[in-house]
């Protein structure tokens, strides 16, 4: 197993290193950034009561700590969002080392070579739990070191935060390991795990709004409310949390060892017809062949009395949309929920900011206007631009798996141009981005305007336009990387991570203007003086389209990867 463990680490070293550096670096910058925002703790204590009375803020971030200090306010503000981001990281890691490897035949090859049946699962679980420990405790140490000169960031309390964060991440990783045993494919496993994250978020919000502390035990997203870092500082809840993670981990291990390859624990409906790739419904039944998409026969591909409609999804665009539909719908659902929650706060922004001149200045600088509701809405638009750009890049990146699994080679063998296939991979990502951006803008605008007395006018349009340039530039860059150096396609996350960091914390850290201008998200159409400048957005969009053109031209001049 040690050899497999080293192989998994080697093949994912860049992925793990990028996430560790990004998360720990972000946490290290948090203490100083918040001290710069609130040099006097009295100012923070004055504005807290206005936040406590808003159920929308409680649903989004949880209840504001009491008594409040710089440390617990900092982790309160970023805690839930950071959990969601890191949960996505650990889920992709866990499923990628289990169900996806099984789908690709690698697990079967390892077993045929004499490796114990349990070894692939435990090698994956070791990395998942090791990553959770490294990210969580690394974040706690980063807070302790970054806040060494700030009284509120005590070392013991920072370590408690890190231990709680580690167990929360481990819980999401364990759920992903469980989903890999239950679901019939890697994609389905990811969807199940992400569905759990959404459920955990909603359950945490209900527990916070209803002030029902015992309900936090049922959602990892609420575990930090049980230990209370920088507040109550209770260590004892860590023991039950650890037992929960270990029990679920044991269950995942048992399910993995008691089923055959490609089998699932999914029960088929009575009367269902088994097709190619259908899995047995219980352990011990001989496994079917590697799962594939819907089992097609010649009858399903033609029009007849029994089958009046031809099978769908056989155009280049239709096939890619079908393969990406779960990812697109998951992103769209999450973005719409966030838009509703963020929009519900707009009506109370003026009251929440009237007691803090420093917060008004920060939001005005990030939003581009001194009017509170409009400034806040544009700041939210900046956050949505980051998320929409990540979505577009993730969808375009799926072209690498499409090629590695041999789909691109099959299309080329059938006479379809490789250039055309590559272009459609980019088109699906950008089309999904545009539809999502419009939907999010409409929902955010409707909710925000309904709860605000201010005339927000055309602000919603600038929210949407603010994400177009960065998304086109990032999507074009990743497509070019996929064509030129597919193995280095992960490099696209570096400018996105840097841009997000600067966009969120640049004003708090008082970074130089040229540093903030290096962010993809700094070139919004609406400027700080209220005027509209299109140059930056057009340059980013034009650069993205130029990179797409270069990628399409070069796509047919290299060999293709295969599984």
Residue 191 contacts residue 326 (beta carbons within 8 Å)? yes
Radius of gyration of the chain (CA): 25
Domains of the chain, by residue range, sit at 1-235, 316-562
The b-or-e profile of 193-204 (16+ CB within 10 A means b, else e) is bbebbeebbebb
Is residue 12 packed enough to be buried (19+ CB in 10 Å), middle (13-18) or exposed (0-12)? Answer: middle
Contacts of 212 (CB under 8 A, 6+ apart): 206
Residue 325 contacts residue 188 (beta carbons within 8 Å)? no
Sign of the dihedral defined by the CA atoms of residues 363, 368, 372, 374, in that order: negative
Whether a cis peptide bond, with omega within 30° of 0, leads into 67 is: yes
Question: Which among 349, 354, 356, 353 has a CA at the least distance from the CA of 374?
Answer: 349
Residue 107 contacts residue 120 (beta carbons within 8 Å)? yes
| Measured distance CA(128)–CA(24) in Å, rounded | 17
Contacts of 347 (CB under 8 A, 6+ apart): 373, 448, 451, 452, 453
According to the model, what pLDDT value does residue 269 have? Answer: 37
pTM over 0.85: no
For every residue of 261-292, DSSP letters joined together read TT--SPPPPTTPPP-TTPPPSSTTSPP-SPP-
| Measured distance CA(55)–CA(35) in Å, rounded | 26
The b-or-e profile of 453-483 (16+ CB within 10 A means b, else e) is ebebeebbebbbbbbbbbbbbbbbbbbbbbb
Question: Which among 156, 155, 160 has a CA at the least distance from the CA of 136?
Answer: 160
Distance of alpha carbon 418 from the chain centroid: 30
According to the model, what pLDDT value does residue 302 have? Answer: 41
| Measured distance CA(271)–CA(208) in Å, rounded | 44
Alpha-carbon distance values, 209 to 28, 101, 204, 261 (Å): 30, 41, 9, 44
Residue 512 falls in which region: left (phi positive, over 0), alpha (psi -120 to 50) or beta: beta
In which element (H, E) is residue 164 found? helix 155-182
According to the model, what pLDDT value does residue 288 have? Answer: 41
Q: Which neighbouring-strand residues pair with 429?
A: none
Question: Which among 182, 191, 237 has a CA at the least distance from the CA of 214?
Answer: 237
Residue 219 falls in which region: left (phi positive, over 0), alpha (psi -120 to 50) or beta: beta
| Measured distance CA(146)–CA(144) in Å, rounded | 6
Distance of alpha carbon 157 from the chain centroid: 27
The pair of structure tokens assigned to 155 is: 């070392």
| Measured distance CA(172)–CA(89) in Å, rounded | 10
Contacts of 380 (CB under 8 A, 6+ apart): 342, 343, 444, 463
SS3 category, 201:
helix
Question: Which among 346, 342, 349, 371 has a CA at the least distance from the CA of 47?
Answer: 349
Residue 128 contacts residue 160 (beta carbons within 8 Å)? no
Contacts of 111 (CB under 8 A, 6+ apart): 117, 120, 261
SS3 category, 420:
helix
According to the model, what pLDDT value does residue 563 have? Answer: 40
Is residue 501 packed enough to be buried (19+ CB in 10 Å), middle (13-18) or exposed (0-12)? Answer: middle
* pLDDT digits (tens), the chain, 563 positions: 788 888 888 888 888 888 898 889 888 888 887 787 777 777 777 767 666 666 777 777 778 787 788 888 888 878 888 888 899 899 999 998 988 888 878 888 887 787 787 888 899 999 999 999 999 999 999 999 988 888 888 889 999 999 999 999 999 999 999 998 888 788 888 888 988 998 898 888 888 888 888 888 999 998 998 998 888 889 999 999 999 999 999 999 888 887 766 655 544 433 443 333 444 444 444 444 444 444 433 344 444 444 445 445 457 778 888 888 888 888 888 888 888 878 777 766 655 655 556 555 555 555 444 566 666 777 777 788 888 899 999 899 888 878 877 788 888 888 888 888 889 889 999 999 999 988 988 888 788 777 666 666 566 676 667 778 889 999 999 999 988 888 888 888 888 888 888 877 776 666 777 777 788 887 776 655 556 677 878 888 899 999 999 999 988 777 666 44
| Measured distance CA(210)–CA(448) in Å, rounded | 24
| Measured distance CA(426)–CA(479) in Å, rounded | 7
> Terminus-to-terminus CA distance in the chain, angstroms?
23
SS3 category, 506:
coil
Residue 233 falls in which region: left (phi positive, over 0), alpha (psi -120 to 50) or beta: left
Residue 440 contacts residue 448 (beta carbons within 8 Å)? no
Residue 459 contacts residue 378 (beta carbons within 8 Å)? yes
CB atoms under 10 Å from CB of 273, counted, come to 7
| Measured distance CA(34)–CA(28) in Å, rounded | 11
For every residue of 316-364, DSSP letters joined together read HHHHHHHHHHHHHHHHHHHHHHHHHHHHTTGGGHHHHHTT-HHHHHHHH
Residue 90 contacts residue 196 (beta carbons within 8 Å)? no
């Amino acid at each position: 197993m040690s050899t497999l463990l080293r192989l998994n680490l080697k093949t994912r070293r860049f992925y793990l290193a990028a996430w560790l550096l990004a998360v720990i670096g972000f946490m290290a910058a948090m203490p100083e950034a918040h001290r710069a925002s609130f040099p006097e703790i009295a100012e923070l204590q004055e504005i807290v009561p206005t936040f406590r009375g808003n159920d929308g803020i409680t649903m989004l971030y949880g209840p504001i700590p009491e008594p409040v200090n710089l440390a617990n306010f900092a982790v309160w503000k970023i805690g839930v969002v950071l959990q969601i981001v890191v949960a996505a990281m650990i889920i992709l890691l866990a499923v990628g080392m289990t169900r996806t490897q099984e789908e690709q035949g690698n697990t079967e090859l390892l077993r045929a070579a004499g490796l114990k049946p349990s070894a692939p699962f435990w090698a994956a679980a070791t990395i998942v739990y090791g990553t959770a420990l490294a990210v969580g405790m690394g974040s706690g140490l980063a807070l302790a070191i970054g806040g060494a000169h700030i009284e509120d960031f005590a070392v013991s309390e920072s370590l408690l935060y890190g231990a709680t964060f580690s167990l929360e991440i481990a819980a999401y990783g364990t759920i992903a390991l469980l989903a890999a045993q239950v679901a019939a494919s890697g994609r389905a496993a990811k969807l199940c795990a992400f569905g759990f994250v959404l459920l955990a978020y909603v359950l945490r919000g209900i527990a916070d709004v209803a002030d029902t502390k015992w309900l936090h035990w049922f959602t990892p997203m609420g575990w930090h409310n049980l230990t209370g870092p920088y507040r109550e500082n209770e260590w004892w809840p860590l023991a039950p949390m650890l037992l929960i993670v270990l029990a679920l981990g044991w269950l995942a291990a048992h399910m993995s060892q008691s089923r055959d390859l490609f089998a699932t624990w999914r029960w088929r409906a009575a009367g269902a017809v088994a097709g190619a790739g259908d899995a047995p419904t219980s352990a011990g039944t001989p496994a079917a062949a590697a799962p594939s998409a819907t089992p097609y026969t010649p009858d399903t591909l033609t029009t007849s009395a029994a089958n009046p409609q031809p099978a769908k999804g056989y155009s280049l665009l239709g096939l890619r949309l079908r393969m990406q539909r779960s990812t697109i719908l998951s992103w769209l659902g999450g973005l719409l929920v966030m838009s509703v929650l963020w929009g519900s706060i707009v009506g109370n922004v003026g009251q929440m900011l009237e007691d803090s001149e420093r917060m008004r200045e920060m939001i005005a600088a990030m939003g581009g206007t001194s009017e509170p509701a409009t400034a806040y809405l544009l700041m939210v638009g900046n956050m949505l631009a980051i998320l929409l750009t990540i979505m577009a890049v993730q969808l375009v990146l799926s072209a690498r798996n499409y090629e590695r699994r041999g789909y691109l080679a099959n299309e080329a063998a059938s006479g379809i141009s490789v250039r055309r296939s590559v272009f459609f991979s980019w088109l699906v990502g950008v089309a999904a981005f545009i539809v999502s951006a419009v939907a999010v803008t409409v929902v955010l605008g409707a909710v925000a305007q309904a709860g605000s007395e201010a005339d927000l006018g055309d602000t919603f349009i600038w929210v949407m336009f603010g994400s177009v340039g960065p998304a086109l530039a990032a999507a074009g860059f990743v497509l070019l990387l996929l064509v030129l150096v597919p193995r280095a396609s992960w490099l696209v996350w570096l400018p996105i991570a840097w841009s997000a960091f600067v966009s969120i914390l640049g004003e708090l850290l008082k970074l130089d203007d040229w540093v903030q201008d290096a962010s993809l998200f700094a070139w919004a159409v609406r400027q700080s003086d209220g005027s509209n400048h299109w140059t930056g957005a057009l340059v980013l969009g034009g650069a993205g389209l130029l990179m797409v053109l270069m990628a399409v031209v070069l796509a047919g001049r290299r060999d293709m990867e295969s599984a």
